[in-house]
Amino acid sequence: MTTLLLGAVAYDPKVVTIWEGFRAWLRRSDFDLDFVLYSHYERQVEDLLDGRIDVAWNSPLAWVRARRMAEARGGAVRAVLMRDTDRDLVTAVAVRADSDLQSLADLAGRTIGVGAIDSPQATLLPLSHLRAAGVDLDGPAHVRRFDVGVGLHGDHIGGERDAAAALVAGRLDAACLTDGNLLLFGQEGTLPAGSVRVIGQTPAFDHCNMTAGPRADAALVERFADLLLAMSYADEQVRPLLDLEGLTRWLPGRTEGYAALERAVDESGFYDSEGRIGARGYRP
């Protein structure tokens, strides 16, 4: 039996539980999966392109790098799967409820909190959106980063949580927070009820995908995808794994939801056109 080797970034101890569970479930269908855990996405992408793993559970930023690296080498990668929760996310620009700020244009000369340097959703995308809205981020407006979990591409939400706490404490004028984390921080008390309001948000974007490498066995990858697409949330054995991974069903991968991130990467110089790292101060 041929083994499919998957790469995943260990952003949390639950990652082991998740993929051990998926591995056991797939074996009941006579499909052999093994996995390798990485401490950051950059090495995972490099190993995918070099054929050391077959598929990678990639962040959106890792997808951008993998696509660029593959094309530079005359090859291609494929977005095979994504979660239902990976589609059509937005990032909000939040201010304190008693702030005088009413629109993004009012952010001139103010301090804006973002997530880690490599967070697509909490840094790269919202900053690109602010630039498009006319906010001069190289001039009067000041950006303060919260570099928690650098190398995890924003999978660790600590940076957003720290930005939210700093906003409430009055150390920021605005903070860039994903819609899901805005809700979570309210539920957990980081953002007390009624303490903030939203003055703008990014267009919708997509998040993670399961990326097949250029050297992966196409038939093996397709069977893997078919098995995951057939997973049912109604299955009591499957449901806990899906809950841990934050989805109710797998969907086919799509790539049109990464266009805004591609632009943001170019604007910031995070990667060049061939996927080489260009972000100053970035050390995963």
Give the burial class of 84: count Cβ atoms within 10 A of its Cβ; 0-12 exposed, 13-18 middle, 19 or more buried: middle
* Distance in angstroms (rounded) separating the CA atoms of residues 66 and 238: 30
Evaluate if pTM is beyond 0.85: yes
Last residue in a domain, options 150, 180, 201: 201
Q: Which two tokens stand for residue 236?
A: 């009591």
User: Does residue 276 fall inside a structural domain?
Assistant: no
User: Does residue 273 fall inside a structural domain?
Assistant: no
Q: Are residues 167 and 94 in contact, defined by beta-carbon separation less than 8 angstroms? A: yes
Asked if residue 185 and residue 112 are part of one domain, the reply reads: yes
Tell me if residue 217 falls in helix, strand or coil.
coil
Asked if residue 174 and residue 102 are part of one domain, the reply reads: yes
- Those residues whose C-beta lies under 8 Å from the C-beta of residue 98, and which sit 6 or more positions away, are none
User: Does residue 274 fall inside a structural domain?
Assistant: no
Q: Count CB atoms within 10 A of the CB of residue 42.
A: 22
Last residue in a domain, options 201, 225, 247: 201
Asked if residue 223 and residue 153 are part of one domain, the reply reads: no
Last residue in a domain, options 164, 182, 201: 201
* Distance in angstroms (rounded) separating the CA atoms of residues 77 and 125: 23
What's the CATH code of the domain at 212? 3.40.190.10
Asked if residue 228 and residue 141 are part of one domain, the reply reads: no
User: Does residue 118 fall inside a structural domain?
Assistant: yes
Asked if residue 128 and residue 80 are part of one domain, the reply reads: no
Asked if residue 212 and residue 81 are part of one domain, the reply reads: yes
Count of domains for the chain: 2
Domain that holds residue 133: 91-201
* Cα 271 off chain centre by: 16
- Tell me which H or E stretch contains 56: strand 55-58
Asked if residue 180 and residue 212 are part of one domain, the reply reads: no
Q: Count CB atoms within 10 A of the CB of residue 2.
A: 10
User: Does residue 279 fall inside a structural domain?
Assistant: no
Asked if residue 249 and residue 159 are part of one domain, the reply reads: no
User: Does residue 104 fall inside a structural domain?
Assistant: yes
* Residue with token string 């919260």: 146
What does residue 17 show for φ and ψ, rounded to 5 degrees? Answer: -60, -45
Per-residue pLDDT of the chain in tens (284 residues, 90 and over written 9)? 799 999 999 999 999 999 999 999 999 999 999 999 999 999 999 999 999 999 999 999 999 999 999 999 999 999 999 999 999 999 999 999 999 999 999 999 999 999 999 999 999 999 999 999 999 988 777 999 999 999 999 988 989 999 999 999 999 999 999 999 999 999 999 999 999 999 999 999 999 999 999 999 999 999 999 999 999 999 998 999 999 999 999 999 999 999 999 999 999 999 999 999 999 999 99
